[in-house]
Chain A
Amino acid sequence: MAIRSSVQTKPVQFGKYNKERISSKTRRAIVAYAFLLPVIIYFSVFFFYPIALELWASLRNGLPLVGESQFVGLDNYQQIFQDKRVLHSFKVTLIYSVGSTIITAVIGLILALILNQKIRGRVIIRSIIFFPYMISVVIIALLWGNILDPYVGILNSFLYAIGLDGQYWLTDINAALPAVISLVVWQNMGYAMVIYLAGLQNIPEQYYEAARIDGASSLHLFRYITLPLLAPTTLFITVIGMIGNLQAIAPAYLITRGGPADATNLFAYHVFNVAFDELRIGYASALAFMMFAVIFVLTMIQFKIAGNQVEY
């Protein structure tokens, strides 16, 4: 049977007008866009439009979006570099993000390596470790806020019971941020473990067999086979982790309110306070755009550094 060319033109009477029949390629494109239209509308309304509005607000002082405001150009952006609190919160956020991301990835990898072995009960153990990831961050914040309470919390009560001194987890400016990082790692390590498990199970066993035949030790197998072939997984976990942690607000908002003495004043929390407590919506919008730029640059750097070493 002859296959008709997909490109055929034929004049068609359409009311008073003559139009060429729409090609099937164009028709397929129209159908594709028709299916994409709801998503395009959704993202336009709930993402791109608010972002455009926020960009407009970042160029204004007063109460843009809510009340009266005045155009001030780039004044809000200039103010960012002179604002000590912004620089401090950015530093806190960087420590929080890098610490949480790296520790989560390392612990997730270790757990995956262990639980990839044929151990009795490994499915249950994996589920238990993954469970915190499924819990709402609000519940985790309330739970750990109580556990870490230096005066009536379970952790210090346990330490006292075994003869040790309690620690000022949430009142010591040097302990508060590590405490917050710890609970975030606790929540997310199960997720990292699951992703790494998937990556491990995709590594062909033949590589290990061949290496063993050549006399490779376990350390050699890990260093020269496992780790390089897990590079795409590691890249994914660290990139997604960094993006999420740079935008984190929940620990500061729910547990410490940015304290003590701004020790856990994450950038997103600071932006939230500037917008809703201080009612400096224009300045807060500028801060949000700056953070977007920082996340973008850091992500590109991550891809550049780590991406070159990814093997597939």
Chain B
Amino acid sequence: MKKNHLSRRNFLKLSATSALALGLGPVREIYPSKAQEEGVVTIYWNPGHVYDTYQKVIDQFQTDFPGWTVNWEKYQWPDMRTKLLADFAAGNPPDMTAEPGGWVQEFALGGQIRSLTEFIEADGEAIEFPDDWQDYTISRNSHEGEIYGMQIHLTCGLMFYNVDMLEAAGFPTPPTTWDEFLEVAKATTERNVFGFAPNQSSGYSWAWLLQNNVQYYDPDTNTVPMDTQDAIDAMQFQADLIHVHKVAPIPIAAADYEGPQKLFTANRAAMIITGPWDIKPTRDGNPDLNWDVAPALTGQRQSTFTGGVSMMIPKDAKNPEMGWELMKRFTALDVELEATKEAGMTMPRKSWSTDEVLEEIPYIAEFGRGLNYAEDTTAELRRTGKFGEIDPLFNKAYEEIIYTNRAADESLIEFVTEANRILSES
């Protein structure tokens, strides 16, 4: 009986046909234009910023561009960073992504994100970008003269204070200087209640450092000039709150930065330094808490750290125009005001900071004023590409001073020596 068998020729024909049918599939441009009728726009976001306001923006986008779907993926910052790096390696990044501050310079330096120049030339005037954005939000999102990111939230660190505790201690108004602050902290400290709750993250110490005229990085000398007496005094002041005056607890080494806010909400701390991200948790955590927001203290000058989320478009994004379209919509002034009303988040537009609506939203007006004297501490250092190596060293120095009460001058000198060695290798 003749056996049926697959000859090599037939096998090759079948393989080729299968490859054509399955392997090619629908042909698709790598960078489709908006004229494409359908597609999926993927954006990465932090789950803490998933506001109803932004959901409405996405819904409207999908209405205006029928056939397009927004794939809104949420990740905590550390997870988003590892996901992004994996995506860059695989050549499959999202079309737009949020970032917590600093990634724009890093990834612009590495060539992984797209310059927004062509988009700004087309649409910038219509959306008043960059003119309506606070000036330092442009420099912190720029690299070699080109803008790579767009700020969506702009925050700064101010003092939350417990009105009832301060009044009970004889202080009808919050402190304005370091000496007043120490006096209030001592007066409000009692058993299981602290005058002040510091944060474990070294970023929060920049309020004190800036107020004492300390600079993280000097681009003129390419050095970290933090072994000055001003820097030592600022760090020692913070450590003394815990170990000498005993008005502050040692911060908890935890995976989140919510420790001080939890103590504040639980009536266990009279004052904390934090940003607008803690307005909603505090409001929700203890609706009966009588608290307010005070301006930043004045040391040698009044200042505080700034921060906030930006958005950027990866170089290999498949739908960069759609990513840009969403960026424009998320930062429209009416959307900014809605997000502020909803979540208490503060925004980068100059027109936002002067909008009279802010006066009606509890706690926000003070942040609006604070944004005018807040400073970005890390932008210059990030442009060197060495921030990733140097900041963990500063964090270590901070923790040694705060947790082990190591003398501030010893820790800072050791940190500066190592940091400047790293910078000198660049």
Contacts and interface: CB of A to CB of B under 8 A. Distances in A.
| A, B assembled together | yes
Interface of A: 63, 65-68, 85, 141, 145, 149-152, 168, 170-173, 176, 253-264, 273, 276-280
Contacts of B89: 65-66
A280 B388 contact: yes
A286 to B, nearest CB: 15
Nearest to B418: A84
Given A66-B85, A261-B403, A256 B266 contact: no
Given A66-B88, A259-B403, A279 B388 contact: yes
A276 B82 contact: yes
A279 B78 contact: no
Contact of A145 (B112, B200, B255, B263): B255
Contacts of A263: 253
Contacts of B56: none
Interface in B72-95: 78, 81-82, 85, 88-89
Interface stretch (B35-43, B143-151, B392-400): B392-400
Contacts of B259: 149, 151
B392 A278 contact: yes
A169 to B, nearest CB: 9
A259 B397 CA distance: 12
B378 to A, nearest CB: 13
Contacts of B78: 276
B336 interface: no
B225 interface: no
A277 B81 contact: yes
Closest 10 CB pairs of A and B: A259-B253, A278-B388, A261-B399, A260-B253, A171-B250, A260-B403, A256-B253, A261-B403, A67-B110, A66-B89
Kindly state the interface size class of chain B when it binds its partner: 20 to 34
Contacts of A63: 110
Given A168-B250, A256-B253, A261-B399, 17 more contacts: A66-B112, A85-B392, A149-B259, A170-B252, A176-B253, A257-B255, A259-B200, A260-B250, A260-B403, A261-B403, A263-B253, A273-B392, A277-B81, A277-B388, A277-B392, A278-B388, A280-B388
Question: Which of B78, B253, B254, B399 neighbours the largest number of chain A CB atoms within 10 Å of its CB?
Answer: B253
Interface in B235-293: 249-255, 259, 262-263, 266, 268
B404 interface: yes
Nearest to A176: B253
Nearest to B265: A152
Question: Which of A173, A256, A259 neighbours the largest number of chain B CB atoms within 10 Å of its CB?
Answer: A259
